[in-house]
Amino acid sequence: TQSTRPQRLLHAVQKNATRGDPRSVVKAIDNFCRQKEWAMNVGDEKGCILDSVVSEVNPVTVLELGTYCGYSTVRIASLLPPHAKLITLEFNPDYAKIARQVIAWAGLEDKIQLVEGPSGEWIPKMKEQFGVKTFDLVFLDHWKDRYLPDTKLLEDCGLLRKGSILLADNVICPGTPDYLEYVRNSPRYKSQYFKSHLEYTKVEDGLEKSVFLG
């Protein structure tokens, strides 16, 4: 029978990673993607930048846009303090199903709320549905044409506070020109580029870290 790439990725995790050990889950996925099949995880190289931003911000409330198989979800959640919570949004039910199993294998279910559906519909419901006031950190890694409208939605819904951090992946490859133009030129943000490479390749890509100034 045919299997999908996310199913094969999950299988690699269950075969090679230790239950309850998030770092071994991350490592098993990176090995699978470098040796077997490329997949759209933030990856090991940009993942180190992601880790350092998460550690520096030390957030209590985190929103991730785009879960896929839960690779970055596990990376982020494993660095959060005990009382912190990560909400991650995924609109593809097949990916969400895999991500739940990857998260469970890492032993991080208690820190992570995986919400299924489109970001444009969930963002306006965040306050009432999840009791969130504002997000300390938002990781943007869903479809690239949604970065800008969802950022404006987060602003309009009052989900950003002075000092909230937006971290956006793939700002060069595939690229998010309208979003970059916005965060780099808006007086409401202070923005900085972290040069790196597209996951599991030598192609230039990077992360954009933007502080919301209020």
Catalytic site positions: 141, 144, 169-170, 199
Task: List Cβ neighbours of 124 (8 Å cut-off, separation of 6 or more).
Answer: 153, 157
- Which stretch, 18-26, 87-95, 100-108, 160-168, contacts ligand SAM (CB under 6 A)? 87-95
Task: Show the binding pattern over residues 137-166: x = contacts Mg ion (CB under 5 A), - = does not.
Answer: ----x-------------------------
Kindly state the smallest distance separating residue 61's Cβ from ligand SAM, in Å.
17
Kindly state the smallest distance separating residue 187's Cβ from ligand SAM, in Å.
27
Distances 196 to 21, 48, 114, 139 between C-alpha atoms, Å = 27, 10, 28, 16
18 DSSP 8-state letter: P
The residues in 43-82 that bind ligand SAM, with binding defined as CB under 6 A, are: 66, 68, 71-72
Kindly state the smallest distance separating residue 139's Cβ from ligand SAM, in Å.
7
Note whether 57 and 135 are within 8 A (CB).
no
Beta strands in the chain, from DSSP E residues, in sequence order: 61-65, 85-90, 112-116, 135-140, 160-168, 189-197, 204-212
Residue 206 to residue 192: CA distance in whole angstroms: 10
Residue of the chain from 88, 134, 170, 176 that contacts Mg ion (CB under 5 A):
170
Interacting residue ranges for ligand SAM, rule: CB under 6 A: 40-42, 66, 68, 71-72, 89-92, 95, 118-119, 141-143, 146
